[in-house]
């Protein structure tokens, strides 16, 4: 398929982040003619912590990405600071997930995944800003997209992987749900001797001198001479609307040991921030020929702010369902297959995200967070359970008692 024959596409995927590139990869693998449209030109940056838990690593392995190549740094668990305690928790040993995580800056990761999709057969068009869907007035279905420079691309199905902006979803009348949590994250890269670390590091209490700041922080060594240092704040906190997040990061890092070099003199760029759409905050995930994947569908874990794994999982699921749907002989049968996408998403993650909403509402009160860190962190068994819950790492069958408790909780919780 060439740039001059866009009408030949079976599927258009808008956005070449992890969600879009994963979708395009699996579609191309199945023989679909897929067009992947990306508004930026690689390499391009995205605001992220750059940490990949075993859940995301499983997706990379499934796609055949060479995670043993240079540029990946492995970690074996999570180091937590809080309540005067420093605790190192290894990733759980499970049949379903690997027992290690990774760090890879998004500047590299997104390009790598997009190129992986291209090798599978997807056509990538960079510097292509999609402004709106093309809707057939007769059927009220999406039949393609229109770009900023006036070009039109046509396909029977469109996948919106356009991130938190969700321009396509908004144009289709799919609105954000205000009863879902939203987070904000800011981060900066610093040249530091702490750039190699075999643990991801999470700070549950951020101190500015004697004052406790309303958020949580991270330090993820990138293995390339820099660390990704950032913090997140949830809209369940009373401080959400009235906080200068960049200044909050400066105040927090100012209290770090000087030899770590988390200061403006060693910053490799500005502090940058982004919103984190959590807990399926945009629904439905399928409507009239448009499927939402990743951040466009609010697929960030409310417990830990992780989105890459759910972006890739949703992309894989969407691709599988599209392939099945397009093989059906009638329009009614294709629609029936496509409506399985939101149903399976809710079945797999809905209950878990509901528990996450309850969790973030509770810790929005700093007194609750302070109590939890003071009294929970000194108990390693409780913290191992918490790690499994927060990172969504359990074996669905044949797991230990912790797995069975978490799985039971997610099954009985209402769908998100």
Convert the pLDDT of each residue in 115-165 to its tens digit.
999 999 999 999 999 999 999 999 999 999 999 999 999 999 999 999 998
Question: What rounded mean pLDDT belongs to the chain?
Answer: 92
Count CB-CB contacts under 10 A for residue 293.
33
Q: How confident is the model at residue 2 (pLDDT cuts 50, 70, 90)?
A: very low
Residue 305 pLDDT exceeds 60: yes
Q: What is the pLDDT of residues 9-65, one digit of tens each?
A: 999 999 999 999 999 999 999 999 999 999 999 999 999 999 999 999 999 999 999
pLDDT (0 to 100) of residue 185: 93
pLDDT at 390: 92
**What is the structure's pLDDT at 375?**
75
Q: Taking 80 as the threshold, does the pLDDT of residue 213 lie above it?
A: no
Higher-scoring residue by pLDDT: 376, 296: 296
Give residue-wise pLDDT tens across range 230-270: 999 888 777 777 788 899 999 999 999 999 999 999 999 99
pTM strictly above 0.85: yes
Does the pLDDT of residue 5 top 70, yes or no? no
pLDDT-based confidence at 338, cuts 50/70/90?
Answer: very high
Residues 6+ apart with CB under 8 A from 181: 234, 235, 236, 278, 279, 281, 302, 356, 357, 360, 361
- Calpha distance 199→219 (Å, rounded): 9
Q: Are 347 and 314 contacting, i.e. CB atoms less than 8 angstroms apart?
A: no
Supply the pLDDT for residue 108: 95
How many whole angstroms separate alpha carbon 399 and alpha carbon 232?
A: 32
How far is it, in rounded angstroms, from Cα 341 to Cα 324? 11
Res. 308: pLDDT tops 70: yes
Range 390-394 average pLDDT: 95
Contact call for residues 231 and 218 (beta carbons, < 8 A)? yes
Residues 41-54 pLDDT 10s: 999 999 999 999 99
Q: How confident is the model at residue 363 (pLDDT cuts 50, 70, 90)?
A: confident
pLDDT in the model for residue 214: 63
Residue 7: per-residue pLDDT: 54
Instruction: Give percent of the chain with pLDDT exceeding 70.
Output: 96
Give me the pLDDT at residue 4, please: 41
- Confidence category of residue 208, pLDDT binned at 50, 70, 90: low
Q: Report the interhelical angle of 351-363 vs 366-376 (nearest 10°).
A: 100
**Helix (DSSP H) and strand (DSSP E) numbers for the chain:** 12, 21
What does the pLDDT look like over 165-191, one tens digit per residue? 899 999 999 988 888 889 999 999 999
């Amino acid at each position: 398929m060439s740039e001059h024959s866009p009408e030949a596409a079976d599927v258009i995927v808008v956005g070449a982040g992890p969600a879009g590139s994963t979708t395009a990869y699996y579609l191309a693998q199945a023989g679909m003619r897929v067009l992947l449209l990306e508004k930026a030109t690689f390499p391009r940056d995205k605001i992220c912590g750059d940490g990949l838990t075993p859940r995301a690593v499983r997706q990379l392995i499934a796609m055949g990405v060479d995670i043993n190549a240079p540029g990946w740094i492995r970690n074996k668990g999570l180091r937590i600071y809080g309540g005067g305690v420093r605790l190192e928790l290894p990733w759980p040993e499970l049949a379903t997930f690997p027992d290690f995580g990774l760090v890879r800056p998004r500047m590299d990761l997104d390009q790598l995944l997009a190129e992986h999709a291209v090798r599978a057969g997807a056509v990538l068009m960079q510097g292509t800003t999609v402004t709106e869907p093309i809707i057939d007035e007769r059927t009220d279905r999406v039949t393609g997209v229109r770009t900023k420079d006036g070009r039109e691309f046509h396909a029977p199905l469109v996948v919106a992987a356009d991130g938190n902006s969700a321009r396509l979803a908004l144009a289709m009348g799919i609105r954000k749900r205000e009863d879902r949590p939203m987070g904000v994250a800011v981060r900066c890269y610093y040249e530091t001797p702490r750039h190699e670390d075999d643990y991801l590091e999470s700070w549950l209490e951020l101190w500015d001198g004697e004052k406790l700041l309303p958020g949580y922080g991270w330090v993820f060594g990138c293995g390339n001479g820099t660390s990704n240092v950032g913090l997140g704040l949830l809209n369940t906190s009373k401080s959400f609307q009235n906080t200068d997040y960049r200044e909050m990061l400066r105040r927090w890092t100012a209290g770090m040991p000087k030899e770590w070099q988390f200061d403006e003199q060693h910053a490799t760029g500005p502090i940058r921030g982004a919103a984190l759409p959590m807990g399926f905050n945009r629904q439905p995930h399928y409507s009239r020929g448009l499927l939402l994947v990743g951040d466009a569908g609010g697929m960030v874990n409310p417990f830990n702010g992780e989105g890459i794994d759910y972006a890739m999982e949703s992309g894989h699921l969407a691709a599988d369902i599209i392939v099945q749907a397009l093989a059906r002989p009638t329009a009614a049968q294709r629609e029936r297959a496509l409506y399985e996408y939101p149903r399976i998403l809710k079945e797999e993650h809905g209950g878990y995200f509901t528990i996450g909403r309850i969790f973030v509402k509770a810790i929005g009160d700093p007194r609750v967070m302070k109590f939890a860190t003071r009294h929970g962190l000194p108990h390693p068994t409780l913290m191992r359970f918490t790690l499994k819950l927060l990172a969504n790492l359990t074996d669905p069958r044949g797991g230990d008692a912790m797995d069975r408790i978490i799985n039971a909780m997610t099954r009985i919780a209402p769908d998100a």
